Structure 1
């Protein structure tokens, strides 16, 4: 209450307007960013409240506003870790919902387990994540206030909280993997073990979002439930979507045009949020992979020898799996680095901005093609270029 009253006085008395286009979200509270700080005029000083309670409210509001700006500029909070086991466990679990996990695990399933498993996971993952990201910016529920919570991640702090897309991704990936591999290995696959692993995986990711202070319990539960409902709705159409993905002549066009249209028509916010860029990254990777799936089927590309989860892996198989993964991830990361620099250079030349200009890279006409082309190249490389390289190296 004091902060709100103080903010009103700051706006009306000290002429510190909060421009809607320049708002920055800090721990669920909107604070002014880049607002006018001109010196108060004589008329302004005459408006200074005469009663001491109002003066106290004004000073308290001003101090809170300054503290918020300082915390915003610092970008992090100071905290003491008392239990390093939980700290590293949940920081690692939180990383299972980040790009580093997607860019390694999803291609791993394509190279070492089975193509059909990878296709189904990528389809579910992209649809679930798009719906989750858009839902955040439509509902506009704030993240938990800080304080009282301590936020261990600041990159996504500008995003809204409901639903938790980490919880959605973890639920979608773990249980779609379970269902796809159970259908593939009906006799050899221990379903109970897979169910327990999927539950533990998704639970750890969900709990990590609470531990890091990025979501409320409702955000996490809502994300997991939405993902489960979408998985149930998509499951009956898996085979149909997979068949069209491999055989339809319109697949490449559909895979590129539809995601691009969705990215360019993403819900607009009053301030910059990384949700649009993250959504473009996901849809771009799925688009590139889909084109790769279709092209491999048209060209009758050589298939990998599927790993049989029910049997102990012999030494030679382990070596092949590690070699495929090492070569594949190395090529994927090199592609990502190369395309980022090339695409950003081309866009910088086209729109006349320096490559290091962060604000320019956040513009719609720059961010969408930059992210989409980069990660569609990553998806295409993982499904087409890397298998060709594996074949040349004798790793199939």
Structure 2
């Protein structure tokens, strides 16, 4: 038993090693600038290891936090494989708001509201658990150096588990398992695509230096377990969510309380705010889908299932692009309007300045303004835009 415990400890230590992440980065052609003197080369790369190149011009930066940091350009690094660099940056974006605010609504508008509802539900549950685990386990991110960190916004967050890995696993596999019951999709091809996209997102967290191998594996396993445990109740929950008279109250009050009672932070990070955003989206969508069901104005697909996939004809593609472009633009406008209004109202109530960056970090302001903003976006997405598309002849 002691031997097994010792082997497990060594394995965990190895998987959490920052040097393992740094080796992966170097294998993929991403190298930290090691010298204090930074030389910008004619080929657009940053020269490292003190080698000479007549095409380089010199300037100086100084070591800070383990790697060269310039106030204007951030951590310095050299990219020797441009294809992998952009591949992993795009893959990392699949776990950010820019992806969620476009992909999830577009599934509703262009494919099936049922799939969007299920994705949002699972995404909210899994991400909340993942964020709470981060601030409960308090395991650090990989050290820099030896790792190059390409992102700064979430550097103050803890590492374990990787919520990018959790979100990717959850969204792609929930989509696969749900869509195969609704549409005539070849499961093997869908499985290959889901695995490929999930792997790319997971590897992007290593490439960007934001997570250890242990963080990524932990994120995948936790999300897989949560999906396995909840899968039998997916259909039953969907029915209750659409028909229960308690849905509009529970779907808004419970997520708000979970956001407000988020575990106390020992230092400020983006986890509480990001969790509030996710739960706000879930609350707005849940209430909106319920209201559509009560009014009988839902755009749900009718069986018998599985249905053939919609044909990709030029008119269909044009309508889909029009819905997506207009819908995302309206959602972005809703976010800006709701954010400005709620932040002004809360700051006026608490008699603080909205221009002070520290004001937005206070729980009594951060949670209500972000929750109300993204709840409004969820309601606009599920209720108003469907009706607008019908009026404009886009549905």
TM-score (norm 1): 0.80
Q: Any residues of structure 2 matched to 1:218-233 within 5 Å, and which? A: 218-233=214-229
CA distance in 1: counterparts of 2:69 and 2:219, whole angstroms: 27
2:137 to 120, 126, 139: 139
Contact kept, 8 Å, 1:111 with 1:304, in 2: the verdict is no
CA distance in 2: counterparts of 1:217 and 1:247, whole angstroms: 43
What is the deviation of 1:292? Answer: 0.3
When residues 311 and 365 of structure 1 are mapped into structure 2, their CA distance, relative to the original with a 3 A threshold, is closer
CA distance in 2: counterparts of 1:304 and 1:110, whole angstroms: 9
When residues 253 and 71 of structure 1 are mapped into structure 2, their CA distance, relative to the original with a 3 A threshold, is farther
SS at match of 1:80: strand
2:207 to 211, 218, 232: 211
> How many residues are paired up?
331
Q: CA RMSD in A?
A: 2.1
CA distance in 2: counterparts of 1:197 and 1:163, whole angstroms: 23
What is the deviation of 1:169? Answer: 0.1
SS at match of 1:350: helix
CA distance in 2: counterparts of 1:82 and 1:248, whole angstroms: 56
1:253 to 249, 255, 260: 249
Q: Any residues of structure 2 matched to 1:66-215 within 5 Å, and which? A: 67-68=64-65, 74=71, 76-185=74-183, 188-215=184-211
Contact kept, 8 Å, 2:342 with 2:373, in 1: the verdict is yes
What is the deviation of 1:270? Answer: 1.5
Corresponding residue for 2:342? 343
When residues 87 and 351 of structure 1 are mapped into structure 2, their CA distance, relative to the original with a 3 A threshold, is same
Structure showing greater radius of gyration is 1
CA distance in 2: counterparts of 1:115 and 1:305, whole angstroms: 8
What is the deviation of 1:118? Answer: 1.1
What is the deviation of 1:316? Answer: 1.5
Corresponding residue for 1:319? 318
Cα deviation digits, residues 114-170 of structure 1 (max 9, x gap): 121111111110000000000000000000000000000000000000000000000
CA distance in 2: counterparts of 1:146 and 1:350, whole angstroms: 42
What is the deviation of 1:68? Answer: 3.5
Contact kept, 8 Å, 1:117 with 1:180, in 2: the verdict is yes
SS at match of 2:299: coil
Corresponding residue for 2:267? 271
CA distance in 2: counterparts of 1:69 and 1:88, whole angstroms: 25
Give every structure 1 segment of 4 or more consecutive aligned residues whose post-TM-superposition deviation is greater than 3 Å: 66-75, 304-312
1:296 to 281, 292, 296: 292
What is the deviation of 1:304? Answer: 6.2
Mark the runs of 5 or more structure 1 residues left unpaired by the alignment.
Answer: 1-26, 28-65
CA distance in 1: counterparts of 2:65 and 2:209, whole angstroms: 17
Q: Which has the higher helix share?
A: 1
TM-score (norm 2): 0.80
Corresponding residue for 2:236? 240
Mark the runs of 5 or more structure 2 residues left unpaired by the alignment.
Answer: 1-17, 19-62
CA distance in 2: counterparts of 1:274 and 1:313, whole angstroms: 40
CA distance in 2: counterparts of 1:314 and 1:190, whole angstroms: 20
CA distance in 1: counterparts of 2:229 and 2:240, whole angstroms: 18
CA distance in 2: counterparts of 1:275 and 1:309, whole angstroms: 40
Cα deviation digits, residues 214-236 of structure 1 (max 9, x gap): 00011001101110110111111
Cα deviation digits, residues 334-369 of structure 1 (max 9, x gap): 101111111111112111222221111100000000
Corresponding residue for 1:45? none
What is the deviation of 1:193? Answer: 1.0
